[in-house]
Amino acid sequence: MSTPALLSILAKDFPFLQAQEEAQLEEALAQALLSYLDPLQEAFFQLCYRWDIAEHKVRQILEQPQNEPINILLAQLFIARAKEKWAYRQAYPQKEADEEDGVAPW
């Protein structure tokens, strides 16, 4: 999956992300997530809910000691979820009938 495709999915909640490669995207997203983590805010949990990030994965990162910083691990979760969303959109494109019904395309 291309970095621009990932950026387009992440742009709704993280409009200022800029990256040429996935590693740069991960680092930029990790920096963006820092504002949600210090102190841990309800907005962070709302963001996880909106992105449908599995609760058990977030809990594992927050409760267990990790070798990497928490914001990097969370950025990896968001990127993995963006890739899943992209795969679903490729596998199940919206039909023209949705546009006729007034539903916005992906």
Query: pLDDT for 13-22, tens place per residue?
Result: 998 888 889 9
pLDDT at position 72 over 70: yes
Model confidence at 103, pLDDT cuts 50, 70, 90, reads: low
Q: What is the pTM of this model?
A: 0.70
Q: Residue 40 pairs with which residues in a beta bridge? A: 37
Average pLDDT of the residues in 42-66: 90
Task: For residue 88, give Cα distances in angstroms to 4, 55, 92, 93.
Answer: 17, 21, 6, 8
Side-chain half-sphere of 104: how many Cα atoms within 13 Å? 1
